[in-house]
Chain A
Amino acid sequence: MGKIANNSIMLAAAATLSSGIYTASFAEDMTLAISMRSLSNPYHATFARGGEAFAESVGLPFEVLVTEGNSEKGLADIRALISRTNGNVCINVDPNDSPDAATIVDEAKEAGAYVVTQWNKPDDLHPWDHDPNYVAHMSFSGVGTSKEITNALIDAMGGEGGIVAIGGILSNVPAIERKLGMEMAVAETGGKVEILDFQPADWNETKAFEIMQAWLTRYGDDIKGVWAANDSMGIGALEALRQEGKDGLVPVVGIDGTEAALAAVEAGEMAGTVAWDPMWTGGMGLSLCHAAASGAIDIAAEPAEHREFYGTGIVVTSANIAEFRSRDASFDFNDYWAKSTGQIQYQ
């Protein structure tokens, strides 16, 4: 892996030489930007910090755009930014909904801007079809990591029993993938573990709290484990358990690796979570985008696994939480693919 990265830097360097004239003036007053749902959740707040850290490292102006959960607003803001900068902009986008990615890529292409997308994009939209403006798509394997964390939950339950599962917004792509991963893991137990009920809580803590309460009435002690599609909902369920004095007795897992969830894992209240690395996706996405835009690499010449790749999602449980806390989270902005865990697979 590292080898490939090194090679590609060489290639990129060569490319820089060849296309240097074209990009030299371009990179000068380039704007860097990040677009995402909102700043009011820790994942995206960290994502933005990653972007900011990279912008500081190269001394370029940096902007944050938010969609507020509204695709049209997200697109309008991106258009406004492209218009203001005359297309001289690199955007690391976490689209509000997957179809938005196509529109964003079109806009960028037309104006000569560069984009990297995160998480959401249509399966048939590929960076290599839109060279060079669509630099890359980064994601995490929703199904794979969900399967891993579900296995962690099943382990914590002792391998059998009923679980209840709290999902995200029904039609949301990560929500669908995470649910699928959970179902696959449960299916692999061959009936030892059973999904008692699945309810969507729309990523919302309070809804998860109320649903968990109702489950306690409906299933009572039959609930041996709680699966949540993100940490917020996991915490909501945990608090409902705490209310009944059952915190720590029924294992809960979430996904995202928020500080609250990590602390709950440390305290033994949650059985585990998946830590993405939003600092890395935010910073590295922008770094890669900038590299392509400034000509540091010839992105069109990069292989597919450098254009669509998974980041590292670490399953954190009580077993490895100490190790996780003490790990070296720093990374090199110029080592683009060091943390990649392979090309994105489509189901």
Chain B
Amino acid sequence: MSDKQKELLRNLVPVFTLLILVLGIAAYEPRFLRPANLITVTADTMTLFLMASGATFVIMLGSIDLSIQAVASMTSCILAAMLPMFGGTALLVALAAGGLAGVLSGLVVNNFRIPSFVATLAIGGIMTSVAFWASNERSIYISDNDKSAWLDWATGTTAGIDNEVIVGILVLAALTAILSLTRFGRLVRAVGSQEQAVVASGINVNRIKFLAFVISGLMAGLAGIVMAARLGSGSPTLASEFLLPAIACIIVGGTAITGGVGSIWKTFVGALIIAVVRIGMTFVGVTVFAQQIVFGLVLVLAVAMTIDRTKVSVVK
């Protein structure tokens, strides 16, 4: 029983980390705790979470997806370019384009046996070119009409809560269900933990990896769509500087970069930790010169706290 409690405690470390950060900031600036502000902070975090949510599957395999930033930018361009002509179909096409990027990553990793680090980096480059092509090398504005007609689900409010938060929570629920209730989710964990044994059990591991990359692509695509909705435009650089924070929030949440251990809610908490640190610095009034330094240090410390070393033998 005490083992179980320890396990539970270990699992909750990221949550405690988040609480400590929130309370720390609140102690300095109580306005941070106002419900409206908390909802805003959460809403602002959701695009980061969406991007990281799918990539969590890939990282749990022990692989990595570095194409998510380029994929998100690309889908924003496709959405913005197509909305005026095709309306809601544009949403589906943009999402499908994200999924297609995942398909490509999966194929390259599986069939050419190229490490995902390089494969997805390269696919990211290709997606950037697609984004330039789709956008005709410009930022494309989304008109208010199109926005209210097709993107209200992402940017409006429902019962006083920003829709981004609702989308984020739906994704959190859906992906958590996939990860913990389905056979696929279990196999993702198994592959990350001991790939050879899964192969020897007759599982088509390539299919698992492939699906994980597709989910990652789809979620990055969704992140791009929501981003486009929020910012009212699509641009080949819309999601730039998102990649490393997204990977960071997966790891900060306690998912092992070596694979096998992790969950979507941890990524959710990780994204909130990253956001709270960043926004918290603005709240506390940390000078902008020190912000990057503080952010870097907090990142390392947060991982030092949240990572579960009992399940990882060799730290690389």
Are A and B subunits of one complex? yes
Q: Which residues of A are interface residues toward B (Cβ below 8 A)?
A: 39, 63-66, 68-73, 75-77, 79-81, 83-84, 86, 97-100, 102-103, 122, 169-173, 176
Q: State whether A122 and B34 are in contact (beta carbons under 8 Å apart), knowing that A79-B44, A103-B230 are contacts in the complex.
A: no
By beta carbon, the residue of chain A nearest B233 is A99
Most buried by A among B31, B132, B142, B279: B279
Measured CB to CB, the closest approach of chain B to A98, in angstroms, equals 6
Q: Given A68-B241, A83-B34, A171-B138, is A97 in contact with B41 using a C-beta cutoff of 8 Å?
A: no
Q: Write the B255-285 contact mask toward A (1 if CB under 8 angstroms, else 0).
A: 0000000000000000000010011001101
How many angstroms between the C-alpha atoms of A72 and B78 in the bound complex? Answer: 19
B230 in contact with A80 (CB, 8 Å): no
Interface residues of B (CB under 8 A from A): 29, 31-32, 34, 36-37, 40-41, 44-45, 47-48, 132, 135, 137-139, 141-142, 227, 230-233, 235-238, 240-242, 275, 278-279, 282-283, 285, 287-289, 291
User: Taking A64-B287, A72-B227, A83-B36 as contacts, is the C-beta distance between A171 and B236 under 8 angstroms?
Assistant: yes
A100-B231, A103-B232, A171-B137 are known; give 15 further A-B pairs, CB within 8 A: A39-B288, A39-B289, A63-B288, A72-B242, A73-B278, A76-B278, A80-B41, A97-B231, A97-B238, A98-B139, A103-B231, A122-B141, A170-B137, A170-B236, A172-B139
CA–CA, A98 and B140, complex, Å: 10
Contact A169 B237 (CB under 8 A): yes
Distance (whole angstroms) from the CB of A73 to the closest CB of chain B = 7
Contacts known (A97-B235, A171-B237); A64 close to B137, Cβ less than 8 A: no
In the complex where A81-B282, A122-B141, A170-B132 touch, is A99 in contact with B241 (Cβ < 8 A)?
Answer: no
Q: Is the CB of B232 within 8 A of A99?
A: yes
Task: Report yes or no: A80 in contact with B283, Cβ–Cβ below 8 A.
Answer: yes
A79 to B39, CA, bound (A): 11
Q: Are B283 and A84 in contact (CB under 8 A)?
A: yes
Which applies to chain B's interface (DSSP): helix, strand, loop or mixed?
Answer: helix
- Chain B residue, CB-CB nearest to A175: B137
What's the least CB distance linking A232 to chain B, in Å? 17
Among B31, B233, B236, residue most surrounded by chain A Cβ atoms (within 10 Å):
B233
Are the C-beta atoms of B230 and A65 separated by less than 8 Å? Answer: no
| Interchain CB contact under 8 A, A97 and B139 | yes
Which residues of chain B are within 8 angstroms of A68 by Cβ–Cβ distance? 241
Q: Which residue of A lies closest to B289 (CB)?
A: A39
Taking CB atoms, residues of chain B closer than 8 Å to A64 are 287-288
Report chain A residues within 8 Å CB of B282. Answer: 63, 65, 77, 80-81, 84
* CA distance in complex: A100, B241 (Å): 16
Distance in Å from the Cβ of B191 to the closest Cβ of chain A? 32
Interface pair B37/A83, CB less than 8 Å apart: yes
User: Would you call B237 and A63 a contact (CB within 8 A)?
Assistant: no
CB < 8 Å neighbour of A98 from B29, B233, B278: B233
* Cross-chain contact B231 with A99 (CB below 8 angstroms): yes
Closest 3 CB pairs of A and B: A99-B233, A76-B44, A70-B241
Q: Which residues of B contact A122 (CB under 8 A)?
A: 141, 232
Contacts of B242 in A (CB 8 A): 70, 72
Partner of B279, one of A66, A69, A77, A169: A77
Q: Which residues of B contact A103 (CB under 8 A)?
A: 230-232
The distance in angstroms between the C-alpha atoms of A79 and B45, with both chains bound, is 12
CB distance from A165 to the nearest CB of B (A): 15
Residues A171 and B132 in contact, CB atoms below 8 Å apart: yes
Complex CA distance for A66 and B285, rounded to whole angstroms: 13
**A86 CA to B34 CA in the complex, in Å?**
11
CA distance A75 to B275 in the complex (A): 12
Q: Is the CB of A171 within 8 A of B47?
A: no
Which residues of B have CB within 8 Å of A171? 132, 135, 137-139, 235-237
Q: Which residue of B lies closest to A176 (CB)?
A: B138
Give the residues in chain B near A86, CB-CB below 8 Å.
Answer: 31
Q: How far is the CB of A286 from chain B (nearest CB, A)?
A: 16
In the complex, the answer to whether A84 meets B235 with C-beta atoms within 8 Å is: no
Q: How far in angstroms is the closest Cβ of chain B from A36?
A: 10
Write 25 A-B pairs (CB below 8 A) sorted by A numbering: A63-B282, A72-B230, A75-B44, A76-B41, A76-B45, A76-B278, A76-B279, A77-B279, A79-B44, A80-B37, A80-B40, A80-B41, A80-B282, A81-B282, A83-B31, A83-B37, A84-B32, A97-B231, A98-B139, A99-B231, A99-B232, A171-B132, A171-B137, A171-B138, A171-B236
